[in-house]
């Protein structure tokens, strides 16, 4: 029987759709190949060809077992892809379903839950946080008399709160309750969460502040934090591969990546447990982080189909308050290059996501290695170049000259006291070259001028400063848009 005109037209449409789908898949595969073969360093030298890197080579060089990536454009996930092993001993490969510890990327997700409660009128950004706490109170002291700590302070790291980060608890260690963490009593392995500088006067990263937020969410919702986050954020945004449950449930262990040390050895017990869930306890995938970033951008733009917070509150989340940080996310760039982002560093895991403020576009990268941080930005820059995204290209430096004979004057240990805790930077002169750092983090310093140097593995620039008698006594260090003074130790 001859097909009718309608049937013939339908067959032609089906054939055309299949052809388009095939071409689209081929195009995506080609883009992924260019990304994985075109990793970019943070700094390139003007006039010299850019030396791209291969993901496979970098993973082998750095002993990184597994990497997972999700790219999203204009509100849709363009692709997800995994490389390497979720667990080496088991021979289990990374795929789009593999969960990683998100580490500090837990903070923006926890912030979104708190802001959802703000939108519901159950929390306030500007009230004393103690008004919302019923099971514990942040102790008052001389630093809280003039200004009280608020949710806005805690989410933006401006509350003067202590405890920068948490190292979690190994499989053979007792896990404290949240109240034990806040009070710094055993078996907690961190100090008490307190205020030790005037509230609102300085930006200082404080995971301890997010533990206070965690308790506030529990006290207000009358639910365990993981349940509250599932209801307020994860389920509404379709983040079905994410959980804040700690320790990780046995039913999900086969879907979770094992964390690895810089040596390539696995973390004892596979990973640490983080009762500091809001600060570091999220298990997720790059695909779910893409869903989260898309939802936040669309909510702020007023285009989200099912917003979890009001547009006004989302706008506040993406507005920098102090030192390029909003409510739970870093804020950088201007115009089309304006971005919101966050990174994460747990024992055995490193991760990062970047998204644009004016469009739901960006990338999320997760790794299961202590050395994963070395390639996160390399992958992000490769994706940005492939898709023509602004504001993420390598920095271009000009190679100058300096006299190697004076490098011995620069060698020494320099302390950056403005960091908490203080950071010590080691400078060595060897073989007519200058180096920063030790061990795996050691990198050569290249001259920009007689006393100014830069590295190609980070955006760091260093100027060595001499006193009136000609002795090098300090260094000016620029990195991440910030300038700090480093004092030479005697």
| Model pLDDT for residues 208-228, shown as the tens digit of each residue | 999 999 999 999 999 999 999
User: Looking at 356, 376, 395, which one is the last position of a domain?
Assistant: 395
55 pLDDT higher than 50: yes
Structure token digits, residue 409: 């004057």
HSE (side-chain half, CA atoms, 13 Å) at 241: 21
- Supply angle C-alpha 378, 260, 93, rounded to 5: 75
Confidence band (pLDDT; 50, 70, 90) for 166? Answer: very high
Report whether 456 contacts 40 (CB < 8 A). Answer: no
**Residue that terminates a domain, selected from 339, 368, 395:** 395
Q: Does 419 reside within a domain?
A: yes
Assigned domain for 59 exists? no
280 closest CA partner among 330, 357, 338, 213 = 213
Say how many domains are in the chain: 2
pLDDT score at 20: 47
Residue 14 lies in a domain: no
Strand partners, 353: 342, 364
The percentage of the chain sitting over the pLDDT mark of 70, rounded to a whole number, equals: 94
Do 307 and 384 lie in a common domain? yes
- In this structure, the answer to whether residues 467 and 369 fall within a common structural domain is no
Per-residue pLDDT, averaged over 290-317, amounts to 98
CATH code: domain of residue 253: 3.40.710.10
Q: Which of 156, 160, 106, 113 is nearest to 138 (CA)?
A: 160
Q: Is residue 274 a part of any domain in this protein?
A: yes
Q: What is the pLDDT of residues 76-126, one digit of tens each?
A: 999 999 999 999 999 999 999 999 999 999 999 999 999 999 999 999 999
Same domain, 356 and 435: no
Together in a domain, 220 and 334? yes
Phi then psi for 268, rounded to 5 degrees? Answer: -60, 125
Burial of 49 (0-12, 13-18, 19+ CB in 10 A): exposed
Report how far residue 163's alpha carbon sits from residue 290's, in angstroms, rounded to the nearest whole number: 29
Looking at the fold, whether 337 and 189 belong to one and the same domain comes out as yes
Residue where a domain stops, chosen among 395, 425, 442: 395
What value does the mean pLDDT take over residues 125-145?
97
Instruction: Say yes or no: 377 and 447 in one domain.
Output: no
Residue indicated by tokens 């982080």: 289
**Spatial separation of the C-alpha atoms in residues 250 and 237, rounded to whole Å:** 24
Tell me how far the alpha carbon of residue 98 is from its chain's centroid.
18
Kindly state whether residue 433 falls inside one of the protein's structural domains: yes
357 in the same domain as 257: yes
Instruction: Answer yes or no: is 116 within a domain.
Output: yes
Mean pLDDT of the region 63-70: 98
Asked if residue 129 and residue 192 are part of one domain, the reply reads yes
Least confident of 217-226, 323-332, 397-406, 412-421: 412-421
189 and 330 share one domain: yes
The reply to whether 195 and 134 lie within a common domain is yes
pTM (2 decimals)?
0.89
- Answer yes or no: is 154 within a domain: yes
Same domain, 380 and 420: no
Q: What is the pLDDT of residue 7?
A: 62
Nearest Cα to 178, choosing from 129, 131, 117, 225?
Answer: 225
Provide the domain limits for residue 352.
Answer: 100-395
**CATH code, domain with 460:** 2.40.128
230 phi, psi to nearest 5 deg: -60, -45
Residue 489 has pLDDT above 80, yes or no: yes
With respect to residue 285, please indicate whether it lies within any of the assigned structural domains.
yes
Maximal CA-CA distance, the chain: 101
| Range in 244-248, 313-317, 415-419, 450-454 the model is least confident about | 415-419
Residue 435 tokens, joined: 């180096």
Q: What secondary structure, in 3-state letters, does the chain show?
A: CCCCHHHHHHHHHHHHHHHHHHHHHHHHHHHHHHHHCCECCCEEECCCCCCCECHHHHHHHHCCCEEEEEEEECCEEEEEEEEEEEECCCCEECCCCCEEECHHHHHHHHHHHHHHHHHCCCCCCCCEHHHCCCCCCCCCCCCCCCCCCEHHHHHCCCCCECCCCCCCECCCCCCCCHHHHHHCCCCCCCCCCCECCCCCCCCCCCHHHHHHHHHHHHHHHCCCHHHHHHHHHHCCCCCCCCECCCCCCHHHHHHECCCECCCCCECCCCCCECCCHHHHCCEECHHHHHHHHHHHHHHHHCCCCCCCCCHHHHHHHCCCCCCCECCCCEEECCHHHCEEEEEEEECCEEEEEEEECCCCCEEEEEECCCCCHHHHHHHHHHHHHHHCCCCCCCEEECCCCCCHHHHHHHCEEEEECCCCCCEEEEEEEECCEEEECCHHHCEEEEECCCCEEECCCCCCEEEEEECCCCCEEEEEEEECCEEEEEEECC
**Confidence at residue 480, expressed as pLDDT on a 0 to 100 scale:** 77
CB 67 within 8 Å of CB 372: yes
60, pLDDT greater than 70: yes
pLDDT the model gives residue 475: 97
Q: Which residues contact 436 (CB under 8 A, 6 or more apart)?
A: 425, 426, 427, 442, 443, 444, 445, 455, 460, 462
Residue 68: CB atoms within 10 Å? 28
Do 274 and 419 reside in the same domain of the chain?
Answer: no
Provide the pLDDT for residue 441: 80
**pLDDT of amino acid 25:** 78
pLDDT in tens, 348-367: 999 999 999 999 999 999 99
Specify the pLDDT at position 427: 97
pLDDT at 43 over 70: yes
pLDDT higher than 90, residue 398: yes
Q: Which residues of 365-397 are buried (b: 16+ CB within 10 A; e: fewer)?
A: bbbbbbbbbbbbbbbbbbbbbbbebeebebeeb
Residue 461 above 90 pLDDT? yes
């Amino acid at each position: 029987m001859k097909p009718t005109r309608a049937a013939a037209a339908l067959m032609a449409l089906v054939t055309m759709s299949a052809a388009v789908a095939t071409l689209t898949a081929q195009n995506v595969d080609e883009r992924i190949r260019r990304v994985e073969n075109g990793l970019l360093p943070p700094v390139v030298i003007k006039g010299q060809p850019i030396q791209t890197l291969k993901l496979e080579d970098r993973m082998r060089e750095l002993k990184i077992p597994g990497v997972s990536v999700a790219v999203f454009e204009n509100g849709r996930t363009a692709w997800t892809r995994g490389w390497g092993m979720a667990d080496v001993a088991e021979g289990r490969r990374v795929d789009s379903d593999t969960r990683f510890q998100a580490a500090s990327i837990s903070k923006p997700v926890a912030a979104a839950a708190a802001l959802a409660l703000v939108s519901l009128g159950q929390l306030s950004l500007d009230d004393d946080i103690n008004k919302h706490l019923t099971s514990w109170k942040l102790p008052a002291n001389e630093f809280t008399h003039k200004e009280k700590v608020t949710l806005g302070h805690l989410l933006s790291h401006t509350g003067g709160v202590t405890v920068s980060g948490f190292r979690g608890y190994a499989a053979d260690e007792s896990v404290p309750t949240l109240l034990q963490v806040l009070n710094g009593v055993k078996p907690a392995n961190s100090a008490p969460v307190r205020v030790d500088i005037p509230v609102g006067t300085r930006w200082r990263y404080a995971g301890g502040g997010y533990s206070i937020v965690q308790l506030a969410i529990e006290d207000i919702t009358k639910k365990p934090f993981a349940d509250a986050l599932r209801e307020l954020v994860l389920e509404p945004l379709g983040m079905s591969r994410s959980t804040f449950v700690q320790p990780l449930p046995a039913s999900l262990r086969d879907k979770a990546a094992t964390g690895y040390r810089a040596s390539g050895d696995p973390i004892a017990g596979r990973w640490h447990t983080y009762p500091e869930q809001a600060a570091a306890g999220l298990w997720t995938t790059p695909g779910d982080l893409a869903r989260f970033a898309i939802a936040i951008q669309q909510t702020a733009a007023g285009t989200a189909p099912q917003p979890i917070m009001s547009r006004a509150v989302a706008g506040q989340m993406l507005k920098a308050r102090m030192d390029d940080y909003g409510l739970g996310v870093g804020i950088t760039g201007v115009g089309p290059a304006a971005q919101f982002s966050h990174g994460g560093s747990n024992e055995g895991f490193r991760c990062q996501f970047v998204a644009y403020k004016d469009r739901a576009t960006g990338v999320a990268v997760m790794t299961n290695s202590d050395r994963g941080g070395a390639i996160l930005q390399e992958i992000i820059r490769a994706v940005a170049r492939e898709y023509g995204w602004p504001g993420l290209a390598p920095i271009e430096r000009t190679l100058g000259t300096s006299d190697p004979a004076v490098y011995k004057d620069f060698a020494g240990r320099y302390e950056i006291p403005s960091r908490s805790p203080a950071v010590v930077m080691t400078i060595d002169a060897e073989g007519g070259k200058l180096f920063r750092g030790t061990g795996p983090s050691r990198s050569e310093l290249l001259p920009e001028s007689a006393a100014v140097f830069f590295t190609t593995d980070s955006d760091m620039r260093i100027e060595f400063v001499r006193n009136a008698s000609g002795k090098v006594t300090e260094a000016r260090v620029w990195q991440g848009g910030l300038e700090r003074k480093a004092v030479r130790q005697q």
